[in-house]
């Protein structure tokens, strides 16, 4: 056992004395030591139940003959951090989580790990750590929140943000907004739509790193406690057979994940996280293949914010495995990939029926013949940008309008709330990329304000930052190169005409090459003075199309 390095033999007698100080018996030390990585905290709603999940995991590990040992991982609540400088500290935690987990796992020589995450950067950060460490690992998330209900209708966090825009437009009262605030987030769990957290928990299932139901069983269901116990048992089977994450997270598994990303209509943030996780697994995941996969993958789900269904509905309809089984009818999945269940993808999804074709469309009746995410290129984004096509209304798939240019989110919000953005405009928010932000803030406030003010079908937003999974509309993020790295987005001027064709995967500013070259000669990218971790991050981070991984990793 790997843990023998830390507990066996005369040389490790001092270590054994410290294990004794912790209360461990000889019998416990004779078993495999399983690290349980707990993301529990009291600031993230998706994490407030993780103490219960961790206890269930510990029981599962012990029942299967292991010794569970808990250590922590951090997590930021994107919703609470949204709209102020706190959002600069969201994406950057992904690498802190991966690095700190690596430190703890290797310093203490665990034989296996059970990762217990739930929210946006926490899930990919721990998946990156799992790939990097490559010791037997199983994931079990805290599960999604139930949808709220306002005046008899299901609502979620995206509805809450849009209510603020509606208030600014004069179509909602302050009392209406507070009614939403009291009701849209009714339980613990990751917010109830197909936002980033739920996208990544579902894709963890697809990758083969989580058990069936990992992405969809609601946080408040006792079924999730049972799932956690089974996760603890599963890791012991993996330790015995020495099945490791790189045996599971292969190139074929990542192609499966991208395929299901398109079918489920996941958050655009998956296009940051999947390449970063793949990078740690030694797999090159180029964003270019996203359009290739999208071209042949139908979009089968329109969960909030794209439509009126929620994670609880997807769970009742059969969950991720049911969507995989539906997509497998087209021969688009590699069914031979190994998973933490000890079975292949094909064995896992066999017989998983679609119980509600209104929630999971059939392949014969998709929402669209192509996938939920599109990668665009053009003279505005030579290296790529990303849009959640499934959340764009048909009339905005092709749009042309004047640029309204802002060098930061705050100025854009002020203009939107002040009624200075009108139908047809293209809002450009720059210097918010991984390096320029730094930290690549999510732009849920401006997208929600646009939607809440009734401009979602007539105004586009473009940024070198990113959008929340709760954003909807023609919200185009991850523009590469970013402005701070000399990208053409930094050259755009107020009033320039921007042309977007999502179906053709193009995005261009209608300015001649000669004019852009002239502007570049007179232009120097802006730099922000930052200190501490953000300063180190800005110096080390790569571009969004590479997953915003850090140089040297």
**Catalytic sites, residue numbers:** 468
With the C-alpha atoms ordered 82, 74, 190, 442, is the resulting torsion angle positive or negative? positive
CA nearest neighbour of 302 among 364, 217, 374, 359: 359
Phi then psi dihedrals of residue 211, to 5 deg: -80, 165
Residue 269 has which token pair? 């943030």
State the DSSP string of 376-437: EEETTEEEEEEE-GGGS-GGGSEEEEEEEEESSHHHHHHHHHTT---TT-EEEE-S-STTTT
Question: 474-494 burial string, b = 16+ CB within 10 Å, else e?
Answer: bbbbbbbbbbbbebbbbbbee
Residue 547 has which token pair? 């997953």
SS3 string, 264-303, reads: HCCCCCHHHHHHHHHHHCCCCCCCHHHHHHHHHCCECCCE
Residue 210 has which token pair? 């989580």
Strand partners, 499: 400, 508
Residue 161 has which token pair? 């943000």
Q: In what order do the strands lie in the sheet with 33-38?
A: 67-72, 33-38, 112-116, 137-139
**Pair 262, 372: CB distance under 8 Å:** yes
Whole-number Å distance between alpha carbons of 20 and 291:
56
**Pair 314, 217: CB distance under 8 Å:** no
Residue 507 has which token pair? 């995005």
- Reduce the DSSP state of residue 520 to 3 states and report it: helix
Whole-number Å distance between alpha carbons of 41 and 49:
9
DSSP category for residue 45: G
């Amino acid at each position: 056992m790997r843990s023998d390095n830390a507990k066996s033999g005369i040389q490790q007698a001092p270590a054994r004395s410290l294990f004794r100080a912790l209360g461990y018996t000889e019998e416990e030390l004779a078993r495999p030591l399983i690290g349980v990585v707990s993301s529990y905290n009291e600031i993230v709603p998706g994490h407030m139940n993780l103490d219960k999940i961790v206890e269930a995991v510990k029981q599962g590990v012990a029942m299967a003959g292991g010794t569970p040992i808990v250590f922590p991982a951090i997590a930021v609540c994107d919703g609470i951090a949204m709209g102020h400088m706190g959002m600069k500290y969201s994406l950057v935690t992904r690498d802190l989580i991966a690095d700190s987990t690596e430190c703890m796992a290797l310093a203490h020589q665990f034989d296996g790990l059970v990762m217990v995450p739930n929210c946006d950067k926490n899930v990919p950060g721990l998946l990156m750590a799992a790939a990097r460490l490559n010791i037997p690992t199983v994931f079990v998330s805290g599960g999604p929140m139930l949808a709220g209900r306002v005046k008899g209708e299901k609502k979620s966090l995206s509805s809450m943000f849009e209510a603020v825009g509606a208030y600014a437009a004069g179509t909602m009262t302050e009392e209406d907004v507070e009614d939403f605030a009291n009701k849209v987030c009714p339980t613990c769990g990751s917010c109830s739509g197909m936002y980033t957290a739920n996208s990544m928990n579902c894709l963890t299932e697809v990758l083969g790193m989580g058990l069936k139901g990992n992405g969809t069983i609601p946080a408040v269901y006792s079924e999730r406690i049972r799932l956690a116990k089974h996760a603890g048992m599963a890791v012991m089977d993996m330790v015995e057979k020495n099945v490791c994450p790189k045996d599971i997270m292969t190139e074929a598994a990542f192609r499966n994940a991208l395929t299901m990303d398109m079918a489920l209509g996941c958050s655009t943030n998956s296009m940051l996280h999947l390449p970063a996780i793949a990078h740690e697994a030694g797999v090159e995941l180029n964003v270019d293949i996203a359009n290739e996969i999208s071209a042949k993958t139908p979009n089968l789900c329109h969960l909030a914010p794209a439509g009126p269904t929620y994670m609880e509905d997807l769970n009742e309809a059969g969950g991720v495995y049911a969507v995989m089984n539906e997509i497998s009818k087209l021969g688009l999945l590699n069914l031979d990939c190994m998973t933490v269940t000890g079975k292949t993808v094909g064995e896992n999804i066999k017989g998983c029926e679609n119980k509600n074709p209104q929630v999971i469309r059939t392949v014969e009746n998709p929402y669209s013949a192509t996938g939920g995410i599109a990668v665009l290129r053009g003279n505005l984004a030579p290296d790529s940008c990303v849009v959640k096509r499934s959340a764009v209304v048909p009339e905005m798939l092709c749009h042309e309008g004047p640029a309204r240019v802002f060098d930061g989110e705050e100025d854009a919000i002020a203009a939107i709330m002040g009624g200075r953005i009108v139908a047809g405009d293209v809002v450009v928010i720059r210097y918010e990329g991984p390096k320029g932000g730094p930290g690549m803030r999510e732009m849920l406030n401006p997208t929600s304000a646009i939607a809440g003010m009734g401009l979602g079908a007539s105004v586009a937003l473009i940024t070198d930052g990113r959008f929340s999974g709760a954003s909807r509309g023609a919200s185009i993020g991850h523009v590469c190169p970013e402005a701070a790295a000399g990208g053409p987005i930094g050259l755009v001027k107020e009033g320039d005409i921007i042309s977007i064709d999502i179906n053709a995967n193009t995005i261009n500013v209608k300015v001649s090459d000669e004019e852009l070259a002239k502007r570049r000669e007179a232009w120097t990218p802006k730099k922000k003075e930052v200190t501490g971790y953000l300063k180190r991050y800005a110096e080390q981070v790569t571009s969004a199309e590479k997953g915003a991984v850090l140089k040297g990793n």
